[in-house]
Structure 1
């Protein structure tokens, strides 16, 4: 738990800070985050001005606790359902709905609760054990005698034996990464009950040498029938240990601050990719790999060639026996429920529509979040010689379950 004063700031807003509120270490960490595009820190005559960018969450500094709230007031439970959908991981079942406007922990507490619940299930069912090799000096023979060590270190004496044993233990990497993540989640929560439960469950798990070692171990885990039940817990542990969401933000060694930040545009892109893929699959379509020759390439300019790729490129079956068509889909984390689509985004979608045009009319899709129900409108782009493309702008209500959004996209486009 943290007793630091809390400063709340919304996405893309600025808050003034006095010089004594930030330590030199805080300044270094915020400048490192600035390099990742998470915040912008600038000095002024009274101290500092801190601007939040596209990352939301909790950042624990030496003298204060910074809470960056999303511009979309998504209830905590719904936010976790969308995050779980993007990561293909279950959300915490026991967490009550929380709003960013009233809860000081917000996203960080919900992720910690998700990790806690998965770890409680693992402890209840029994932690996985595996054979671990140990080298020890014993008074009696256990396992195998280390002949070389016995000859070189004991000089033939047999009062103590150098042995190698293989015992089934819980001190394996599947468990160590969870023990490390449970302890790393403690500074992120101010709720005493959650902190107490985290400490209690953490006692059942071994720990890695450091969070970096735990992350290295987590990256090397491969799932089989023996450890498949650990997958969900490892998903939430990865968020805690990396300090970020779908686009791990605080991975630089030596510069990571205690915190949990989520880049909302990256989350929305991950959500839209899965929504579009599921909607297309229901009609025999599929997502094309967005790499290699699938992009729109610009060559001949100074420097390297630039490539434009939509967030999702769908291949859809043709109607009435016609050839299959391509449909580019782009995710925009913008308030297009309140104002018109910007000229830059229209130009981008028009490029996608024309670049992936088949024999029929050119089409492209823009998907944005909104509140208060879904919306769909079509932008007809024309030129002196006639129509150029149709751009479909779809607003997805973030207060609804992701499964409902799949049906909306399916009914609107397919």
Structure 2
């Protein structure tokens, strides 16, 4: 890979690039990311102004490497703890125990290290083998004779036999996709030691396949007791091969450039979905679908049907043992620890409460990230005709482990009265 200049931009930050630093192909790829809302690119008289959004990670262009550093709420290897929690994957070992150093902005290195750790474990346990069909030309009969090939290609000669055999080998998709992901990780890491470890482990896996084919294979994979131990490694492999896109976290499947980008608002939504579901589980609650016929829909607007759908809709036990109550919860990746809840979000949460909760107890919940401890406050929304509803605002400290945050959410989420 040619030498590239590192350009570091903080979350929501910006940087000026010279015109010579971006090739026409780079501009095209950055405009594609701009169309997805990941960043913005503006042409200036002296070059380009690049502004990052709520996206972190690494983007490798022709002449520069863009390092988008998390600045808002989740920093360094703590980001990996929350990402692993959202993906329901085992968190990687502490970076300090590794032979390489990773700075607080080294998101790509951290994901590569997580993949490497899982692949090392698979090698220690022994790679899975399965029966693979082979058609070979052998001097002796082993397996089944391919009569058609023998008669049409060898013309009755018996010095070599066309045979079909089934042998248990490691050259199966479960292993091949990991070989591909390890080689992709080599191109993204900034640590020479980590890259060397990745190449060494990659050589122990079957030959790599194109990333597109590996992704299709991962999408088709179904886990049984035979390959369940591959789930965590495949999770990190999928993340790398999609360039940061994860099923149920990002809707777009990677970028047009080499890189590993993660949209923080989408990650926070995935975190909150699991956080409140885990917290409510001990109270007999569970998440339910908030769309379709059970959702809030708007009709009559020039033939367009729109919907209001909360990030999480919890079904909770009611005072009446035979009934249940719904509680809408919305994830907001906003600085609600520094300023008040916007009027638009209050309106949105009031709509949820009116659509899903009892008329005598209108309530909804906002969950936002913060640092320096958890927080909890209740917004009372009143009108001349009385109380419209309450919006419970939970601030989750992202500097703690997700399991600690789950216990805190359980203690303050409006569940006790149910």
TM over 0.5: yes
Q: What CA distance in whole angstroms lies between the structure 2 residues aligned with 1:208 and 1:215?
A: 12
Q: What secondary structure does 2:304 align onto?
A: coil
Q: Classify 1:72/1:353 alpha carbon distance in 2 versus 1 (closer, same or farther; 3 Å).
A: same
Q: Classify 1:248/1:208 alpha carbon distance in 2 versus 1 (closer, same or farther; 3 Å).
A: farther
Q: C-alpha offsets along residues 89-126 of structure 1, whole Å, 9 cap, x if unaligned?
A: 0111142399xxx8275111111000000000011111
1:136 aligns with 2:107: no
Q: Classify 1:73/1:314 alpha carbon distance in 2 versus 1 (closer, same or farther; 3 Å).
A: closer
Cα distance, 1:13 vs structure 2: 2.3
Match of 2:253 among 236, 241, 251: 251
Query: What residue in structure 2 maps to residue 301 of structure 1?
Result: 301
For the 8 Å contact 1:76–1:97, the answer to whether it is kept is no
For the 8 Å contact 1:43–1:49, the answer to whether it is kept is yes
Cα distance, 1:199 vs structure 2: 0.8
Q: Classify 1:265/1:344 alpha carbon distance in 2 versus 1 (closer, same or farther; 3 Å).
A: same
Query: What residue in structure 2 maps to residue 281 of structure 1?
Result: 281
Q: Classify 1:2/1:351 alpha carbon distance in 2 versus 1 (closer, same or farther; 3 Å).
A: farther
Alignment map for 1:18-57 (pairs within 5 Å): 18-57=18-57
Q: Which stretch has the larger CA shift, 238-247 or 333-342?
A: 238-247
Cα distance, 1:321 vs structure 2: 5.1
Q: Classify 1:198/1:48 alpha carbon distance in 2 versus 1 (closer, same or farther; 3 Å).
A: same
Q: C-alpha offsets along residues 311-358 of structure 1, whole Å, 9 cap, x if unaligned?
A: 001111123658422110000000000001111111111111111121
Q: Classify 1:17/1:121 alpha carbon distance in 2 versus 1 (closer, same or farther; 3 Å).
A: same
Q: What CA distance in whole angstroms lies between the structure 1 residues aligned with 2:54 and 2:335?
A: 13
For the 8 Å contact 2:43–2:49, the answer to whether it is kept is yes
Cα distance, 1:73 vs structure 2: 5.1
Query: What residue in structure 2 maps to residue 163 of structure 1?
Result: 163
For the 8 Å contact 2:76–2:105, the answer to whether it is kept is no
Q: What secondary structure does 2:334 align onto?
A: coil
Q: What CA distance in whole angstroms lies between the structure 2 residues aligned with 1:2 and 1:181?
A: 21
For the 8 Å contact 1:33–1:250, the answer to whether it is kept is no
Query: What residue in structure 2 maps to residue 237 of structure 1?
Result: 237
Cα distance, 1:53 vs structure 2: 1.8
1:395 aligns with 2:403: no
Query: What residue in structure 2 maps to residue 70 of structure 1?
Result: 70
RMSD (Å), alpha carbons: 1.9
For the 8 Å contact 1:58–1:105, the answer to whether it is kept is no
Query: What residue in structure 1 maps to residue 150 of structure 2?
Result: 150
Q: What secondary structure does 1:305 align onto?
A: strand
Q: Which stretch has the larger CA shift, 67-76 or 161-170?
A: 67-76
Q: What secondary structure does 1:90 align onto?
A: coil
Q: What secondary structure does 1:37 align onto?
A: coil
Query: What residue in structure 2 maps to residue 360 of structure 1?
Result: 360
For the 8 Å contact 2:377–2:392, the answer to whether it is kept is yes
Q: Which stretch has the larger CA shift, 26-35 or 260-269?
A: 26-35
Q: What CA distance in whole angstroms lies between the structure 2 residues aligned with 1:250 and 1:326?
A: 31
For the 8 Å contact 2:69–2:105, the answer to whether it is kept is no
Q: What CA distance in whole angstroms lies between the structure 1 residues aligned with 2:129 and 2:362?
A: 57
Cα distance, 1:161 vs structure 2: 1.4
Q: What CA distance in whole angstroms lies between the structure 2 residues aligned with 1:406 and 1:387?
A: 30
For the 8 Å contact 2:11–2:72, the answer to whether it is kept is no
Q: What secondary structure does 2:95 align onto?
A: coil
**TM-score, with normalisation over the residues of structure 1?**
0.94
Q: C-alpha offsets along residues 118-158 of structure 1, whole Å, 9 cap, x if unaligned?
A: 00001111111111111111222221111111111112122
Query: What residue in structure 2 maps to residue 331 of structure 1?
Result: 331
Q: What CA distance in whole angstroms lies between the structure 1 residues aligned with 2:321 and 2:70?
A: 46
Q: What CA distance in whole angstroms lies between the structure 1 residues aligned with 2:377 and 2:213?
A: 49
Q: Unpaired runs of 5+ in structure 2?
A: none
Q: C-alpha offsets along residues 39-66 of structure 1, whole Å, 9 cap, x if unaligned?
A: 2222221121212122211111111110
For the 8 Å contact 1:89–1:232, the answer to whether it is kept is yes
Q: Which stretch has the larger CA shift, 212-221 or 134-143?
A: 134-143
Q: What secondary structure does 2:241 align onto?
A: helix
Q: What CA distance in whole angstroms lies between the structure 2 residues aligned with 1:337 and 1:359?
A: 29
Q: Classify 1:393/1:73 alpha carbon distance in 2 versus 1 (closer, same or farther; 3 Å).
A: closer
Q: What CA distance in whole angstroms lies between the structure 1 residues aligned with 2:115 and 2:176?
A: 14
Query: What residue in structure 2 maps to residue 342 of structure 1?
Result: 342
Instruction: State the aligned residue count.
Output: 409
Q: What CA distance in whole angstroms lies between the structure 1 residues aligned with 2:159 and 2:322?
A: 85
Cα distance, 1:249 vs structure 2: 6.5
Q: Classify 1:330/1:248 alpha carbon distance in 2 versus 1 (closer, same or farther; 3 Å).
A: closer
Q: What CA distance in whole angstroms lies between the structure 2 residues aligned with 1:24 and 1:205?
A: 37
Q: What CA distance in whole angstroms lies between the structure 1 residues aligned with 2:384 and 2:306?
A: 29
